[in-house]
Amino acid sequence: MRTVLVTGAASGIGLAIAERFARDGERVVLIDLDAEKAERAAGAIREAGGTALATGADISDEGAVAYAVRVAEDAFGAVEVLVNNAGHVHQARFEDLDVADFDRMFAVHVRGTFLMTKAVLPGMLARGEGVVVNMASQLGQIGGVELVHYSAAKAAIIGMTKALAREVSVRGVRVNAVAPGPINTPLVRALSEGWQ
């Protein structure tokens, strides 16, 4: 039984990942900006016989990340699997984007992935094993109309994943990215019908 952290786990892909790990007998920590929704999801996992807890955190905040990881480790021990899934979407034409839109996109996707990984990686390296899975997107490879900032953030995650994998794989830690296309989740439903 491993301890698995999943960010953005209150709904969509993150929730499905958390539920699957729980069904497989793992101890799951659901991390989400919406703490109440994450707790409801963790409660449903427990009702189904799984082992889960939830904590609210803005993963772009270093202190919030440190607290969330501490909660997880205090409850379930060392983190063995991290799934960086938290996401944010804001659709706009490039000329309508402002710096705040761009910065928020990178804060959630890139900074959040960096901070979460930085918080758990030292323990994984010390044990000589661990798994980090980063949620990228096909749009990080091909780009998306009215999603320049989202596409750029996902491309950054792909680059970070490749570089970190090369750095730590020889020390027993696997780092991979998954790049799905559109999936019927609240995040995708937030986009305009024309884009979907």
CATH of the domain at 109: 3.40.50.720
Q: Which residues contact 103 (CB under 8 A, 6 or more apart)?
A: none
Buried-state track 97-123, b at ≥16 Cβ within 10 A, e below 16: eeeebbebbbbbbbbbbbbbbebbbee
Active site residue 150: yes
> Which of 26-40, 52-66, 173-187 shows the lowest mean pLDDT across its residues?
173-187
> Quick check: 77 pLDDT over 50?
yes
Q: What is the pLDDT at residue 147? A: 92
Question: Is 146 part of any domain?
Answer: yes
> Quick check: 48 pLDDT over 80?
yes
What number is the average pLDDT over the span 148-156?
96
What is the end-to-end Cα distance of the chain in Å, rounded?
38
Which SS3 state, helix, strand or coil, does residue 28 take?
A: strand
Burial label for 67, CB within 10 Å (0-12, 13-18, 19+), is middle
Question: Is 148 part of any domain?
Answer: yes
Q: How far apart are CA 23 and CA 17, in angstroms?
A: 10
> Which range of residues forms the domain containing residue 29?
3-189
> Quick check: 159 pLDDT over 70?
yes
User: How many domains does one find in the chain?
Assistant: 1
Question: Is 142 part of any domain?
Answer: yes
Q: What is the pLDDT at residue 95? A: 95
- For 12-47, the pLDDT digits (tens) are 999 999 999 999 999 999 999 999 999 999 999 999
Q: 185: pLDDT confidence band, cut at 50, 70 and 90?
A: low
Percent share of the chain, pLDDT over 70: 92
- For 97-151, the pLDDT digits (tens) are 999 999 999 999 999 999 999 999 999 999 999 999 999 998 989 998 999 999 9
Question: Is 196 part of any domain?
Answer: no
Question: Is 194 part of any domain?
Answer: no
Question: Is 195 part of any domain?
Answer: no
R_g over Cα of the chain:
16
Q: What is the pLDDT at residue 90? A: 85
Q: How far apart are CA 183 and CA 136, in angstroms?
A: 13
From the candidates 2, 150, 151, 152, give the one annotated as an active-site residue. Answer: 150
Percent share of the chain, pLDDT over 90: 86
Q: What is the pLDDT at residue 196? A: 45
Question: Is 143 part of any domain?
Answer: yes
Mean pLDDT of the chain: 93
β partners of residue 52 = 28
> Quick check: 183 pLDDT over 80?
no
Q: What is the pLDDT at residue 180? A: 84
